[in-house]
Amino acid sequence: MTTQSPSVNLTLLRLLADAQFHSGEWLAQQSGRTRSAIWKQIQTLNALPGIQIDAVTGRGYRLHEPLTLLDADKILSYLQDDNRHRLTQCHVLAATTSTNAIAADQPPDLLRGNAWFAEYQTAGRGRRGRQWLGGFAQNLPFSLAYQFDLPMAQLTGLSIAVSTVILQILHQQGAQCIGLKWPNDLITENGKLAGILVEVNGETTGPSTAIIGVGLNLKADSTITNSVDQPTTYLQALGGGTERNQIAGLLLDGLLQLCADYPRHGLQPYLPVWRQYDQYRGKPVALIGPNQTLCGIQIGLADDGGIQLDIDGEIKTYYSGELSLRLAMS
């Protein structure tokens, strides 16, 4: 299923995606619009971050760089059969506020195994109210809504498991130098590669619905660099595959398998990998919370997904907040 924002003409973008010159007449014929309408839509598309369409008299229009648009059928082609059956529907949005917000606004029957991918987010959300922004069709924001027959308390470690699964998939795609930062960031020595936002709602005794939001930087994008308050990196720079539909399909497949396995095995199978790639273990850190900042040495991940800090010789476990090396070192 593809949902198109009225302000983004995906048909026209697909015609221009090869970055070759196409005449206004040909574009009008192919899209069933007038040449005047094509010109107006070109102006609208040029206003999108990450989109640059050149116009040359006598040659027509072309995208400055080739563009790979998301395609639900291509994404689904990477799913194993069992996981394909676990997914009710795959939605591809041209533009939206945020995929997590769209998922949260859906009726209950669409929160049992639906995924939302977006070419562009105007208000992508991260932890602690941060925004995650990117150029049109440059990166990979998506959300998976899945219903568990579990009480909410048993899903507290889900974000740890999600980050571990994504790490392993990206390693398999050739990006080896990625580590983990508690609770759910994928990082390298050059900056943040991906963030995860898991929002859980439900009954105390179950069932519970988790909306798993992922924002992955695929290629160099000044829009991201200018909109966040920390260094960022991207998969292309790490030697990983960057074909958006392939990465989208592999990540969706991995997360659907995780959702199937988690009720049976919980967090335990994911702990060894997470601990292996924990980038802050043994380092001085600051744990930033809403009301206070605690400084200590990170000891590692507790069995239930909390983070353990050695503060003046006393080891305590915490379940909320954000770790920072910069504040600890300042």
> Which residue numbers are catalytic?
127, 192, 326
Report the alpha-carbon angle 10-15-18, nearest 5. 115
For the residues of 78-144, what is the DSSP string, one character each? TS-HHHHHH--EEEEESSBS-HHHHHHTS-GGGSSSEEEEES-BSS-B-GGG-B----TTTSEEEEE
Q: From residue 152, give the alpha-carbon distance in Å to each of 99, 102, 106, 255, 261.
A: 21, 21, 19, 18, 16
Nearest CA to 219 among 249, 196, 193? 193
| Orientation of helix 158-172 relative to helix 244-265, angle to 10° | 140
d(CA 296, CA 313): 9
Residues 6 or more apart whose CB falls under 8 angstroms from that of 229 comprise 130
Element (H, E) at 41: helix 35-46
CA dist., res. 218 & res. 29, Å (int): 34
Residue with tokens 């308390």: 153
